[in-house]
Chains A and B, each alone.
Chain A
Amino acid sequence: MTRYINGLVFNSETRSFDKQSFQVQGQYFEQSSRTTETEIDLDGYYITPGFIDSCSQIGLAEIGIRWEGDDSYEFDSHLQYSVVDGIYPFDAAFQKAVSHGVTASHIVPSPKSLIGAKTAIIHHTHTTVDEMVLIKDVAYSFSIGHQAKSTFFAEKKKPLTRMGIAKIVRETLQQIQQQEPRIKKIVIRAHKAVDIEFVGRLQHEFGTIFDFHIIHGTEVPLLKGESFNTVIAGPTFRYIEHNEMMALSPKLYRHLSNQHIPFVFCTDHPVSSTSHLTLEGCLAVREGMTRQDVLYALTTGAANFLGIAHKTGAICDGLLADFVIWDKHPLNLDAQVVATYIKGTKVYAREEGLTE
């Protein structure tokens, strides 16, 4: 049993930092009367739950290498494809992630695939992917608009229209209903307003069976009166790659927040870097969001959306001890991670950090 005292701990209910202590027993936060073996004084430090990236290709598209480590896109589509079969636990990006306080990611395949694969949520440490998986078969991913069209054209030398994409998506949804009835979440990469409207129609047609969630949502601010399930917004810190992204701006976060549209943050690593998840949060703060709301979206909000709130996402008894110690407020642009813990084990420590 280790007891951490005097730190400023992020409270997910009040969304504020309170000076309090917490205890870790094995893999879990635990408040018990058992004898404390170690006590660590965190006076002056900020402690948050581990940050969760709601859309990432970490481990699926290895950094520092090209095609050899890229397993994010398959030529054809198959309902049995699962990201779990493509994740490489020794991708250098995992170390980058934990050194920036990101402890878990929702793994979604490349935007190149119109029909992607079954997604999964993984922790950022361990030697085998099976140990990393928090939940698999979370959702089915799709990607519509420019990316899907251009990939199709590159392969078939024939155009694929939005009408053609709509037909394929609808047919696939019917197949998922028959073949994988357990999966209820559908995540769809879409930038343009016209594609986001199409997802609205799908919600109307298939709403009794599936919940649809937009990834990116670049042109959401252009839509009037649409209702949304949780949007996986961004990333906004990235290269404007094609016309559909011309409106890309952190102002998106201000709009979602002002319109009370529920949303979570992502980097879509390696598109932005897993290490820039807090940067997306900082850009949202710049655009007028409160720091409290941003921190909540990066932790408990993401865990709720991804369906892992019973496992992680808050510093709360009975949950896995995924937490991060920061030298200052985590949304300061120069904040550094002092140490990161996953399931109670220290997975990263700054050299001159806390000793135990």
Chain B
Amino acid sequence: MIIYHHAKIFTVDEQNNIFEQLWIEDGRIVYVGPAKDTPPDAELIDLQGAYVTPGLIDIHAHVGTWAEVTEDINDANEYSEPFTPLMHALDSVDIRHFSFQHALEGGVTTVQTGPGSANVIGGIWSILKTAGPTLASRVLIERSGLKGALGENPKNVFGNQYKRKPMTRMAIAQLLRDGFQRASRLNEQEQTDQINHNTELRPFIEVLQGDMPLRIHCHRADDIMTAIRIAKEFNVELHLEHCTEGHLIVDAVKKSGFHATLGPYMLTPSKYETRHSTPAIAAIFKEHNIPFAIMTDHPFVPIQYLKYCATEAIRYGLDEETAIKSITINAAKLVQLDHRIGSLEAGKDADFVVWSHPIFETEAKVLQTYVNGKKYYEAE
């Protein structure tokens, strides 16, 4: 038993309390609450008045898959085809890549990572802890969604650069429908066979059966609506990735019932479809009660700056409580992991960050980052 005390511990759960003690055993939280008598055999760690939050969560970041320093070893986009449903994040994640270290430096303990947005169907995403001895030990969800992309990226890569299909949004929508059409024509036995043989229809069947959501990269308002339209046609669960012009069609997004991961609005709009990008979208979604998380889209905004993506939303009108939740518990809820991560409550994984000041203060530095109760980062 290790007991962290003499700290301001922000639970970021429903009550959003600030407590003094955090008890950890076997990588789990046993108790978080007001100071009380400690067992004689417990190890006490004095945090010297520091501030503690849950480990931060980024559910849209290409950590470990996007080599960054050189395109030669970019393993996030399989450019050879626009339709690559068999690609799987776990086959390209390099756990020794420096982006995992940067994540820990920024207090990020969980990421959803995987294929990028060059392809109409990019492949399967996974959710991982940012520390742990092996890839297998880090996996929280092996198949957390089928990633697809609409709009400029596939148009640019295939139509514009490779001079091949898809050149238009029409063909992009057709390619996206194609997998679902073929998968939904199969009977139950055929579907089971496809899953067992891990064919290219497998992810579409899994999405149709509700085992994982469809995750669509969409910036422009019409692309957001195309994603919603196709999801409704096949009655599948959709998660909107980026949703950049969502504030322009906020009622339609609300009506769809789907949720979004917002960002990376910290970037200068580099292309036409992102020209209306604004950090104000978070406050607008909050006002309309649309559940959302905030992303870095690492490497585009480096993963260690996830906190600053949340503070920019505050600058543009979001309340502090929703801001911290959008990079912790609300992000966990959107990927059905809130029973394990996202807040500091008894029974949950001991993923937490020790800060020098309250998280959203300018002076706040990450002093220590813990994953499953183990300290993986300490500031110099």
> B274 an interface residue at 8 Å Cβ cutoff?
yes
Q: In residues 303-339 of chain A, which contact B (Cβ within 8 Å)?
A: 331-336
Q: Which residues of B contact A245 (CB under 8 A)?
A: 69
List the one stretch of B80-88, B107-115, B127-135, B308-316 in contact with chain A.
Answer: B308-316
Q: Could you give 12 example pairs across A and B, Cβ below 8 Å? A: A64-B269, A64-B274, A66-B270, A238-B302, A239-B301, A240-B69, A242-B69, A270-B268, A286-B363, A334-B311, A334-B315, A335-B315
- Please name the 4 residue pairs, one residue from A and one from B, whose CB atoms are nearest each other, closest first: A64-B275, A270-B268, A333-B311, A64-B269
For A287, give the chain B residue with the smallest CB separation.
Answer: B365
Q: Which residues of B contact A (CB under 8 A)?
A: 68-70, 98, 266-272, 274-275, 299-302, 305, 308, 311-312, 314-315, 360-365
Shortest Cβ distance from B359 into A: residue:
A333
Residues of B within 8 A of A65 (CB): 271-272, 275
Contact: B362 with A331, CB < 8 Å?
A: yes
* A285, B363: Cβ atoms closer than 8 Å: yes
Q: How far is the CB of A169 from chain B (nearest CB, A)?
A: 25
Given contacts A63-B270, A63-B275, A64-B274, contact A333 B360 (CB under 8 A): yes
Minimum C-beta distance from B277 to chain A (A)? 8
Q: Kindly state whether residue A243 has any CB partner on chain B within 8 Å.
A: yes
Known contacts A240-B302, A286-B365; is-contact A63 B268 (Cβ 8 Å): yes
CB distance from B221 to the nearest CB of A (A): 15
Across the interface, name the chain A residue whose C-beta is closest to B323.
A334
A64 and B272 contact, Cβ closer than 8 Å, known pairs A279-B308, A285-B363, A286-B362: yes
Asked if B272 and A334 sit within 8 Å, CB to CB, the answer is no
**Which residue among B270, B272, B362 has the maximum number of chain A CB atoms within 10 Å of its CB?**
B362
Assuming the A-B contacts A285-B362, A333-B360, are A240 and B271 also in contact, with contact meaning beta carbons closer than 8 angstroms in the complex?
Answer: no
Interface residues of A (CB under 8 A from B): 63-66, 92-93, 237-243, 245-246, 269-274, 276, 279, 282, 285-287, 291, 331-336
Q: Are B315 and A63 in contact, with the CB atoms below 8 A?
A: no
Q: Which residues of B contact A93 (CB under 8 A)?
A: 268
Q: Inside 8 A of B274's CB, which chain A residues have their CB? A: 64
Q: Which residues of A contact B68 (CB under 8 A)?
A: 239-241
Task: Determine the chain B residues whose CB is within 8 A of the CB of A246 once the complex forms.
Answer: 69, 98
Chain A: which residue is nearest B364 at the CB level? A286
Q: Which of A66, A242, A335 contacts B70 (CB 8 A)?
A: A242
A333 touches B299 (CB 8 A): no
Contacting pair A270 B270 (CB below 8 A): yes
Chain B residues closer than 8 Å to A273, beta-carbon distance: 266-268
Cβ contacts under 8 Å, B311 to chain A: 333-334
The answer to whether A66 and B271 touch (CB under 8 A), given A331-B362, A333-B361, is yes
Residues of A within 8 A of B299 (CB): 239-240
Find the B residue at minimum CB distance from A285: B362
Q: Are A332 and B69 in contact (CB under 8 A)?
A: no
A147 to chain B, nearest CB (A): 13
Given contacts A63-B275, A92-B275, A241-B69, contact A334 B360 (CB under 8 A): yes
- Complex CA–CA separation, A238 to B300 (angstroms): 7
Known: A64-B272, A66-B272, A333-B308. 9 other contacts (CB 8 A): A64-B274, A239-B302, A242-B70, A274-B268, A286-B363, A286-B365, A287-B365, A333-B314, A333-B315
Minimal beta-carbon separation of A224 from chain B (angstroms): 19
Nearest opposing residue in chain A for B66, CB measure: A239
**Bound: A331/B361 CA distance, A:** 10
Given contacts A239-B68, A239-B299, A240-B68, whether A336 and B315 have CB atoms under 8 Å apart is yes
Q: Which residues of A lie under 8 Å from residue B301 when comparing CB positions?
A: 237, 239
- Nearest CB on B from A39, distance (A): 30
From B271, B315, B360, name the one whose CB has the most chain A CB atoms within 10 angstroms.
B315
Q: Which residues of A contact B365 (CB under 8 A)?
A: 286-287
Q: Which residue of A lies closest to B68 (CB)?
A: A240
Question: CB distance A334 to B70 under 8 Å?
Answer: no
A239 to B274, CA, bound (A): 18
- Tell me, in angstroms, the Cα distance from A334 to B320 when the chains sit together: 10
Give CA–CA (A335, B311) in the complex, Å: 10
Cα A237 to Cα B311 with chains together (Å): 14
A332 touches B362 (CB 8 A): yes
Enumerate chain B residues within 8 angstroms of A240, measured Cβ to Cβ: 68-69, 299, 302
Name the residue of chain B whose CB is nearest to the CB of A237.
B305
Give A243 to B71 CA distance when docked, in angstroms: 11
CB distance from B354 to the nearest CB of A (A): 15
For B270, list chain A residues within 8 Å (CB). Answer: 63, 66, 270
Instruction: Kindly state the separation between the CA atoms of A273 and B362 in the bound complex, as whole angstroms.
Output: 19
For B69, list chain A residues within 8 Å (CB).
240-243, 245-246
CA distance A270 to B266 in the complex (A): 11
For A279, the closest partner residue in chain B by CB is B308
On whether the beta carbons of A237 and B269 are closer than 8 Å, the reply is: no
| Nearest CB in chain A to that of B360: its residue | A333
Minimal beta-carbon separation of A255 from chain B (angstroms): 12
**Which residues of the other chain, A, contact B315 by a CB distance below 8 angstroms?**
333-336
The reply to whether B300 and A239 contact each other, CB–CB distance below 8 Å, is yes
Shortest beta-carbon distance from A191 to chain B in Å: 12
A239-B68, A239-B300 given as contacts; is B269 within 8 A of A282 (CB)? no
Name the B residues within 8 Å of A336 (CB-CB).
Answer: 315
Q: Which residues of A contact B308 (CB under 8 A)?
A: 237, 279, 333
Give Cα A291–Cα B363 distance, bound, in whole angstroms.
Answer: 10
Closest Cβ–Cβ distance, residue B308 to chain A (whole Å): 7
CA distance A245 to B314 in the complex (A): 30
Complex: how many Å from CA A287 to CA B301?
A: 19
CA distance A66 to B315 in the complex (A): 28
Bound form: Cα–Cα A272–B274 in Å: 15
Bound complex: CA A32 to CA B362 (Å): 39
The minimal Cβ–Cβ distance linking B95 to chain A, given in whole angstroms, is 18
Q: Considering the chains assembled together, what is the distance between the CA atoms of A276 and B279 in angstroms?
A: 12
Roughly how many angstroms separate A3 CA and B268 CA in the complex, as a whole number? Answer: 36
Q: Which residue of B lies closest to A270 (CB)?
A: B268
Complex: chain B residue closest to A238, CB-CB: B302
- Asked if A269 meets B268 with Cβ closer than 8 Å, knowing A240-B68, A334-B314, A336-B315, the reply is yes
B299 and chain A: residue at smallest CB distance: A239
Expressed in whole angstroms, the Cα–Cα distance for A246 and B299 within the complex equals 13
Q: How far is the CA of A282 from the CA of B69 in the complex (A)?
A: 26
**B313 and chain A: residue at smallest CB distance:** A334
Shortest distance from the beta carbon of A279 to any chain B beta carbon, whole Å: 7
Shortest A53–chain B CB gap in Å is 13
Please name all residues of chain B whose beta carbon is closer than 8 Å to the beta carbon of A239 when the two chains form the complex: 68, 299-302
- Are B275 and A333 within 8 A (Cβ)? no
Q: Which of B266, B271, B314, B362 contacts A276 (CB 8 A)?
A: B266
